Amino acid sequence: MKYWGFMGVKVALIALAMRGLWPLVKSLLPPPRPFLYIGQPFGRDLVWTLAAGACFLVGCGLLYLAWLDQRYRCRVCLRRLRMPVETGSWSSMLQFGRPRIEYICPYGHGTLEVPEVQIAGPEHADWRAHGDIWEELTSVEEARR
């Protein structure tokens, strides 16, 4: 819930930024020439249409960056995943497995496996929660006391 809530906040901020960007762009554009159109100049005036297209592309780019940032975040604590480790082998896939990159949460909440080879279409990254790794370590410390 926290993970998707954070993504929702990012999307809301992007929507807010785009809502503020369009009036700024409109104020910078030259006024449309009132010839043969009624209402919005979008689709009838080349400069206004290109500006709207550029704003759309900026919004799509920001959404992509938000999605890319969200993909490499811990599902529990939302910190960026660290320590990429390459596993598998490109030259010996049958012996050592398919190549992939594993990222881990710095606090040990889980591991994200991102496959580098996509043989049968796009494969999604696999998140594995580690659960109680720190509880096991602290219980060992408490058992020694």
Q: Which of 14, 81, 105, 112 contacts Zn ion by CB under 5 A?
A: 105
Please name the residue ranges forming H helices in 37-78.
Answer: 46-71
Q: Which residues pair with 101 in a beta bridge?
A: 86, 114
With the C-alpha atoms ordered 8, 14, 16, 22, is the resulting torsion angle positive or negative? negative
Residue 73 touching Zn ion (CB under 5 A): no
User: Which one of the spans 39-47, 58-66, 74-82, 119-127 is the region binding Zn ion (CB under 5 A)?
Assistant: 74-82
Q: In the bound complex, what is the minimum distance in angstroms from residue 78's beta carbon to Zn ion?
A: 7
**C-alpha distance across the termini of the chain, in Å:** 38
For residue 74, state whether it binds Zn ion (rule: CB under 5 A).
Answer: yes
Query: Is residue 107 involved in binding Zn ion (CB under 5 A)?
Result: yes
Of 4-12, 18-26, 39-47, 76-84, the window that binds Zn ion (rule: CB under 5 A) is: 76-84
Type of residue at 30: P
